[in-house]
Amino acid sequence: MTFDLARILESKRQHRRALAALPIEEKLRLLDDLRQRALDIRPAQAAESSILREEPAVYGAKKP
C-alpha cells in the first residue's frame, strides 16, 4: 500500500461531495444507521471501560 497524501485528500473531497449531493432522506437513513452502530458498540465499550477507572484531572481547582 502506498501513501499518497494528495490522492487520499482528493478521495475524501470526492466522498464529501457525493454525500452532500444525496437527498435529505438518504442522509437521514445514513444517520440512523450510524446511530444504530453506536448503540450496538456502546455495551462492548462499557464492559471494557469497567476494567480500569480513573478519575479525570481537575484543572484550575484550588488546593485546600
Total domain count, the chain: 1
Is 10 inside any structural domain?
no
* Mean pLDDT calculated for residue range 6-28: 96
Q: How far apart are the first and last CA of the chain?
A: 56
Instruction: Give the tens place of pLDDT for each residue, 36-56.
Output: 999 888 876 666 655 556 676
Cβ partners under 8 Å of residue 19, min gap 6? 27, 30
pTM for the full model?
Answer: 0.54
Is 38 inside any structural domain?
yes
Is 11 inside any structural domain?
no
Is 31 inside any structural domain?
yes
DSSP string, the chain: ----HHHHHHHHHHHHHHHHHS-HHHHHHHHHHHHHHHHHHHHHHHHHHTS---PPP--SPPP-
Is 58 inside any structural domain?
no
pLDDT of residue 3: 86
Residue 34: give the domain boundaries: 23-47
